Structure 1
């Protein structure tokens, strides 16, 4: 059991259970350690099942009972068939805990266990130490600053913190197509490109920028690998050709988008200009003169200005005269001038509003006319299409009417034409059949060849995919083995040099030898038992046969001689006594076996720590009574 307990303790430490170094047997496990070990195993096996459970025992007894029942239910959900309940965790015994831990360790995922036990290199050791420090800090309870000890002040101080701000970085890279870099680019990288630590504006942004750049590179590499495995292999092109074709398609699509955008812009500009119909309709609304001036898009201010300054010359002269007369004279006071200006401003604003309303009305009429023109254009197109169909029908009917006066001759000519056409069709069909048969055979042959080539190409493609997957898997295995090799070298360097390998080898050989001796002894005992059972069966059969023969012989003579009759009675009594003696010996062996079983049960019960568990139960019972009395007192006070 010692080796089994060591294996269990090693597996529990790998799951994150804090097993003390002096504990080397399941017998030394406390209730707190058992609960922590079970919860850690449940979290590794099924995180959804174990994350809701606490790895430490709560102080209250009712909470402890609830936690024990939850753990028992979780173990039963995983498939544990043994007897389990809250008493398994609170009042534990060695055999039950050993069987439960063996079940949970067997349920642990092998890959995660191997990955947790086989990290790679110095970086993995650093990550492991960081995780240990974080775990230690998480286990410490939080305390206010005034109550912190020096260790807590060191661990729970806020320290310096910076926001996660990233900035784009410029990194040297090679061209994907040729794999080489131009001399000018190399000179730029060597002479002008700043180091990565100097490119961000703040030093605190360097780690965040590096992490962001690394994440972008990884995502780009993963996207390219997925695209190449899904589409690139099907194209049957090399990676460089596939990239070139993809780049050409992207450039073509960009050109088409730019061309479409430029065409739409030109259409909008052409649509913004009024056509000749609008130019003809414009004078009727007083919007302008027919000439080289076109209706261009403008603001309300430009339209108002146009309507204001495109009036008759006489009106313009009159307005200018009024403006001259309205100039301030020396005899007028400033108040009159200001009042006159306010009146002119109000009249001009009113005129501006009227012109704006007129412009809006004109714009609405133009829109309505545009819609009407489009409808009329559609109707015109439909009428033209119907007229074209009617003209074609009329032409056919006219030709038919022209043929009616000489109907018999025309019918004969038409029949001759139909016969000639049918004969021509028959000859063409026979010629086509002659040409069609070899073409159909050639088509079938080419189809079969194409299908076989497609099957072969698909098979080769699947083989290529399999080879790519094997290459990727082999590369991952090589990386894992290389990391494991580095870790083992590091651990070997850290191991004490005074321990020799021969000691471990001798110990392993001794364990193997002891196991082999035990197997040989068990085999020998089994063979001896079989031989004894055989011998017992032979003697029993021989005894039965001897008694039957003796009984028959003595019984024949007992009818004639009185002394023989007494001998027969003595023989029967002897046989009965021997039978009772054999039965007594068998009962004695059975009783000895039962005694040994009872002794083993006594040892098992002694290992269950019944007395200590009974004391714990009494203490817990007293604690529950105290809690109940305290709750009852609180209820009475309330």
Structure 2
């Protein structure tokens, strides 16, 4: 459950990173509802590329086709019922029998290279063309062919990838061609091998070569060595059949003696007893010799250490002797010059003055040369820096070009694989479906969309007409109220004036100032009040109708939301979430208990 929760959370985070504005979380994938999933899929479908370039993460190429074919074959084999061995057909035996299963056993293969290369010798080309056996004939078992080819292909690909990585990281920085880089690397490797072999040889010589104190051991070992071309050595066939040297391993020598003894023809009892006695004596002598060799090897190591120390002390003493000899030589020369000191001092002064003059002239010459060399050095340094900057720029351009070439090659390869995949998918599609059916379906979809657009346009036009009519009626009501207001005042004043003797005056007043009459005359005032109340009631009625429509729309929206929430199965999802929460708590408690136990 915890793993499912993490995967759902990561999917929700990925959708949010893509810009999905709707509500999305782990519950969207664990307890999905149809509207949410539909909206999410529509959003993801809109995020797919709509141009000619395809998604780089889409599996394409021969591997995808091969995987689909493998999955198809596996499904076909799983769909077949299991049959007992006696009832199996040939196809069932191939799919259900275990006799065709083998281990992944790899054998080395010898494959022909690129014969068009100029670095390949003619002899090797001739061997590849005439004498190199087929791959199937190089293996002892036919079932190891696929494993060997897969292993060889994997090793070749890994070698190419390692060479490309090394060339990009170290080869380009060395500013050498690939051939020069390979030759220099080969030379370094050969030098390292030679140094290792030289060290091993010195170590072997220090540990195994006998010194002056091992001469007796060498003489004793020579007595057991059979030299070629001598007939004076007497003994049995066993002593003449095996050569014994001090460099051979005693255990190996004993095994060889035993094998030779086992391969000898049968003899009489006396010869067998003699050979057995001789074999036992030889084994005892071998054990004694092995012990002596070990002791002598230890003593040889100690002697070598002592010799090294003595040589170091001798070198130090030789250096001290050379220093003292030089000091004595100088003092002896000074003592020889003491009897004629004045003349020698004058000669020495002349030599010193000449040396000073020569030093002054050399200083002047050096200063001239130094200035010229300093100028040349600064100029060469400037040129070197410019060359380094230019070489760095060229190196960067070469790397960029190499990356572009690599990207273009990868893109071409990917497009080629995609083309092959699409061709294979096209070939696998059924050919009995005509194009007219798809065209008819497309035309029906287009006609339905056109009809829906016409309906939507008609509804919009009806809505606009209705809105215009509502606006006209509203204006008409306002204008009618104003006119009615004026008519009520006039008619009311005129009607009241007919009952008295103020006919002319009241009519004149009602025409000139009807509001004033309405304030003075009670009937007119009541009529005006009823008219205002009627207008207000009508306005309230209209507002009530509008509010009713708004409420009805809100009711419909709420009903749609209720249906949507009901489709989301919020209650059941909440129960599932609670159950999952309890399961996660149990898993956490179990993990804590395991941690405490450990």
Q: TM-score band, normalised by the shorter chain?
A: 0.5 to 0.7
Determine the C-alpha separation between the residues in 1 that align with 2:470 and 2:216. Answer: 122
1:166 is aligned, of 76, 89, 106, to 106
Q: Give CA-to-partner distance per residue, 1:417-476, whole Å, 9 cap, x none.
A: 574255325412441355246414532541353134224412431342233133223322
2:160 is aligned, of 221, 235, 255, to 221
Determine the C-alpha separation between the residues in 2 that align with 1:195 and 1:356. Answer: 51
Match of 1:471 in 2: 408
Match of 2:548 in 1: 591
Q: Give CA-to-partner distance per residue, 1:271-323, whole Å, 9 cap, x none.
A: 86667xx4xxx5xxxx8xxxxxxx38659x739999xxxxxxxxxxxxxxxxx
For the 8 Å contact 1:197–1:206, the answer to whether it is kept is yes
1:261 and 2:197 correspond: yes
Match of 1:382 in 2: 316
Determine the C-alpha separation between the residues in 2 that align with 1:135 and 1:450. Answer: 65
Determine the C-alpha separation between the residues in 1 that align with 2:29 and 2:425. Answer: 39
Could you tell me how far 1:388 is from its partner in structure 2? Answer: 1.7
Determine the C-alpha separation between the residues in 2 that align with 1:74 and 1:598. Answer: 37
Could you tell me how far 1:590 is from its partner in structure 2? Answer: 2.8
Map 1:344-383 onto structure 2 (within 5 A).
368-383=302-317
1:130 is aligned, of 70, 84, 97, to 70
Determine the C-alpha separation between the residues in 2 that align with 1:395 and 1:184. Answer: 70
For the 8 Å contact 1:166–1:205, the answer to whether it is kept is yes
For the 8 Å contact 1:554–1:568, the answer to whether it is kept is no
Residues 571, 82 of structure 1: alpha-carbon distance in 2 compared, 3 angstrom cutoff: same
Match of 1:246 in 2: 182
Determine the C-alpha separation between the residues in 1 that align with 2:464 and 2:145. Answer: 77
Could you tell me how far 1:603 is from its partner in structure 2? Answer: 5.4
TM-score by length of 1: 0.55
Could you tell me how far 1:378 is from its partner in structure 2? Answer: 1.7
Determine the C-alpha separation between the residues in 2 that align with 1:525 and 1:100. Answer: 34
1:420 is aligned, of 352, 357, 367, to 357
Match of 2:150 in 1: 211
RCO (CA 8 Å, sep 6+): is it higher in 1 or 2?
2
For the 8 Å contact 1:162–1:204, the answer to whether it is kept is yes
Secondary structure in 2 matching 1:423? helix
Match of 2:255 in 1: none
Residues 388, 127 of structure 1: alpha-carbon distance in 2 compared, 3 angstrom cutoff: same
Determine the C-alpha separation between the residues in 1 that align with 2:427 and 2:545. Answer: 64
Match of 2:117 in 1: 177
Residue-pair matches, total: 484
Secondary structure in 1 matching 2:105? coil
Determine the C-alpha separation between the residues in 1 that align with 2:39 and 2:222. Answer: 96
Match of 1:454 in 2: 391
Secondary structure in 1 matching 2:104? coil
Residues 192, 83 of structure 1: alpha-carbon distance in 2 compared, 3 angstrom cutoff: closer
Residues 458, 513 of structure 1: alpha-carbon distance in 2 compared, 3 angstrom cutoff: farther
Secondary structure in 1 matching 2:108? coil
Residues 178, 471 of structure 1: alpha-carbon distance in 2 compared, 3 angstrom cutoff: farther
Determine the C-alpha separation between the residues in 2 that align with 1:539 and 1:400. Answer: 143
Could you tell me how far 1:486 is from its partner in structure 2? Answer: 1.0
Residues 186, 564 of structure 1: alpha-carbon distance in 2 compared, 3 angstrom cutoff: farther
Determine the C-alpha separation between the residues in 1 that align with 2:461 and 2:388. Answer: 69
Determine the C-alpha separation between the residues in 1 that align with 2:161 and 2:532. Answer: 91
Residues 221, 459 of structure 1: alpha-carbon distance in 2 compared, 3 angstrom cutoff: closer
Match of 1:302 in 2: 221
Match of 1:16 in 2: none
- Cα RMSD of the aligned pairs, angstroms, is 6.2
Could you tell me how far 1:506 is from its partner in structure 2? Answer: 1.6
Could you tell me how far 1:382 is from its partner in structure 2? Answer: 0.6
Match of 2:278 in 1: none
Determine the C-alpha separation between the residues in 1 that align with 2:536 and 2:178. Answer: 97
Map 1:231-242 onto structure 2 (within 5 A).
231-234=170-173, 242=178
2:539 is aligned, of 582, 596, 605, to 582
For the 8 Å contact 1:169–1:209, the answer to whether it is kept is yes
Residues 359, 134 of structure 1: alpha-carbon distance in 2 compared, 3 angstrom cutoff: closer
Could you tell me how far 1:117 is from its partner in structure 2? Answer: 7.2
Gap runs ≥5 in structure 1: 1-48, 54-68, 288-294, 307-347, 619-638
For the 8 Å contact 1:166–1:209, the answer to whether it is kept is yes
Could you tell me how far 1:614 is from its partner in structure 2? Answer: 9.5
Could you tell me how far 1:416 is from its partner in structure 2? Answer: 3.0
Determine the C-alpha separation between the residues in 2 that align with 1:464 and 1:356. Answer: 67
1:95 and 2:35 correspond: yes
Could you tell me how far 1:385 is from its partner in structure 2? Answer: 0.8
Residues 252, 114 of structure 1: alpha-carbon distance in 2 compared, 3 angstrom cutoff: closer
For the 8 Å contact 2:139–2:145, the answer to whether it is kept is yes
Match of 1:496 in 2: 433
Residues 174, 386 of structure 1: alpha-carbon distance in 2 compared, 3 angstrom cutoff: same
